[in-house]
Amino acid sequence: MLLTKKEKGKSLLCCILKKFSTFVCGSYRVAELVWQVACKEGIRIPQDISLTGFDDPRHLSCLFPPLTTVKQPFFEAGVLAVDILMKLREGKKSKESMEDGKPDNLERIG
C-alpha cells in the first residue's frame, strides 16, 4: 500500500511523539497537527507531552486541552520598522531596534 506524503508525515509524527516529551513548534499549523495526532494516539497534553506554538490564531483558543502559544507583535514590529526606515531615509540614526517589540507568551489553562 502506498502512502501519501501527508500519511507518511503523520506516521513519522506518531513515532516522534512516542520518543520525545516536549515540542516547540515554529508555527501554529505544526502545533495544531501535533495536537491532532497526539489526541488521536491517546497522548495527553500536558500530562504526557508539552506543546507550544507561535502566532496565536483565534481558532486555536477553542482547543481542549488549551495550547500555549507565543503571540508575536507583528503590527507593532511593522510600525517600528517603518519608523526606523523613515529616520534612515532622512539621514537620522535610530536608537530603536526590533528587539524592543518582544513577543507575548499566552498560556491557556483549561
Residues 48-85, buried b or exposed e (16+ Cβ, 10 A)?
ebebbbbbbeeebeebebbbbbbeeeeeeeeebeeebe
**What is the mean pLDDT of the segment spanning 60-82?**
81
- Check pLDDT > 80 for residue 59: no
Residue 94's domain spans which residues? 73-104
85 and 100 both lie in a single domain: yes
User: How many domains does one find in the chain?
Assistant: 2
**58 shares a domain with 83:** no
Cell numbers 497526539: residue: 38
- 20 versus 7: the higher-pLDDT residue is 20
Q: Does residue 44 sit in the same domain as residue 67?
A: yes
> Which pLDDT tens digit goes with each residue over 26-58?
888 888 889 999 999 999 998 999 998 887 777
Residue 2: inside a domain, yes or no? no
Grid cell locating 63: 482547543
Mark whether 79 and 44 lie in a shared domain. no
Q: Which residue has the higher pLDDT, 107 or 69?
A: 69
- Which pLDDT tens digit goes with each residue over 79-91? 888 988 898 888 8
